[in-house]
Amino acid sequence: MLKNVNHYYHKTIIYTVLMLMALPILATLVYSFSTKWGATILPDGFTFKWYIDLFGDFRFWSAFLRSAIVSVGALALGLVLLIPIILLACHSAPILLKYLNYIILIPFAIPPVVSSVGLLQIYSDSALNISGTAYILIGTYFTIIIPFIYRSITNSLSAVNVHDLVDAARLLGSSTFKAFILVVLPNIKKGILTAVFISLSVLLGEFVFANILVGTQYETLQVYLYSKRVASGHFTSALVITYFAFIFLFTVIASYIGTKNELRSSKKSV
C-alpha cells in the first residue's frame, strides 16, 4: 500500500516536471501548425503555410548557411588546435592537463557580454579589423566550444591507454606521428563525434556574440530569428521549431554515440 503511494508520488513528480519542461516546446510546435490562435485556448485550424513561407524565404537559407559556415569553421579550428594538445598531454606531458583544466573554466566563467566589450574595441579600430565579419565569430565560437571538445575527448581517452598503443605501433615500425593518426585517433573517434554534435547544437543557438559583434552584417540564424520578432508569431514558431529540430537531431546523435560507448565499455568489463 505504502509502496504504491510512493510509486505514484514519484511518477507524478517526474511527469509534472517533464510536462512543464516540454510545454513551451509543444506549444510552439502546435502554434507553428495553426492558422490562427489568439484569444482562445485552442487553435482554430491547422496549416503548413508558415513552413512553406519560411522555407521559401531566401534570407532564412542564407542565415542558415552562414550559421553553418561559422559553426563548422569554429569546430574545425577547435579540433585541429585542441586534439594535438590533448594527445600530447596524455602521452608525454601530463602537466599540461593541469593547466588545461583551469583554461577550460575561463570560457564558462566569463559571460559572452563581458568578452564582447573587449572584442568589439580590439577588433574594430586596430590593425586587425575583423569586427563585423565571420572571422571574429569563428574566433569567439572557438572559445565557446573549447570546454565541450576538451571534456568529450578526455572522456573517451580515459578508456584508451595512449602510451601502450603508441609504443605498440612504434615497435611495429610506425613513427609516433603516424601512430597518433592511424591508431589513437580512430580509438577516440566517438569522443570526437560527440564533441562535434554537442558543439554544433551549442553554436547553432548562439546569439550574444552574433548580435553584438556582427549583427546584421553577417546575419546568423539566431540574429535572423530575432529580427523576425515583429513578424507573425506563427512564422517565428515555425522558425523556432525548425531550429529545435536540428538541436533534437544533434542531441539524439550525441547521446546515442554516448550510450553506445557506455554499452561497449560495460560489455568489456564483463
User: According to CB under 8 A, which residues from 129 to 188 bind another protein?
Assistant: 136, 139-140, 142-143, 146
Q: Which of residues 1, 2, 41, 127 is near another protein by CB under 8 A?
A: 41
Minimal distance, residue 12 CB to another protein, in Å: 8
Residues of this chain, 189-208, that bind another protein according to CB under 8 A: 201-202, 205-208
Minimal distance, residue 100 CB to another protein, in Å: 10
Q: Which of residues 10, 59, 163, 260 is near another protein by CB under 8 A?
A: 10
User: Do 204 and 67 touch, CB atoms closer than 8 A?
Assistant: yes
Distance separating alpha carbons of residues 45 and 38, to the nearest angstrom: 12
Is 24 a binding residue for another protein by CB under 8 A? The answer is yes
Is 72 a binding residue for another protein by CB under 8 A? The answer is no
Q: Which of residues 71, 154, 156, 237 is near another protein by CB under 8 A?
A: 237
Minimal distance, residue 213 CB to another protein, in Å: 8
Is 37 a binding residue for another protein by CB under 8 A? The answer is yes
Q: Which of residues 65, 81, 181, 185 is near another protein by CB under 8 A?
A: 81
Residues of this chain, 87-116, that bind another protein according to CB under 8 A: 88, 92-93, 96, 103, 106-107, 109-116
